[in-house]
């Protein structure tokens, strides 16, 4: 079993990165995808961090 981590500033970038990775593995090797959003405020802007962890099997 292996994990692949993704961390992006924009939702669309995360979606694109995950979709690209999923194209490289067989569907039956996918175990789970865990998704998280965190935010931070730096007195000027609110900063978002979109993260995902993919658990998958390797051959």
pLDDT of 15 reads: 97
Per the DSSP assignment, residues forming a β-bridge with 47 are 40
Instruction: Record the pTM.
Output: 0.86
* Domain chopping of the chain, boundaries: 2-56
pLDDT at 59 over 90: no
pLDDT at 31: 98
If you average pLDDT over residues 32-54, what whole number do you get?
Answer: 94
Q: What is the pLDDT of residue 42?
A: 85
> What's the full length of the chain, in residues?
59
- pLDDT tens per residue across span 28-41: 999 999 999 999 99
- The mean pLDDT of the chain is 95
């Amino acid at each position: 079993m292996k994990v692949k981590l993704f961390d992006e500033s924009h939702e669309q970038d995360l979606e694109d990165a995950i979709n690209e990775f999923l194209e490289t593995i067989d569907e039956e090797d996918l175990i789970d995808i865990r998704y998280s959003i965190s935010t931070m405020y730096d007195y000027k802007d609110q900063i978002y961090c979109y993260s995902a962890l993919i658990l998958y099997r390797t051959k």
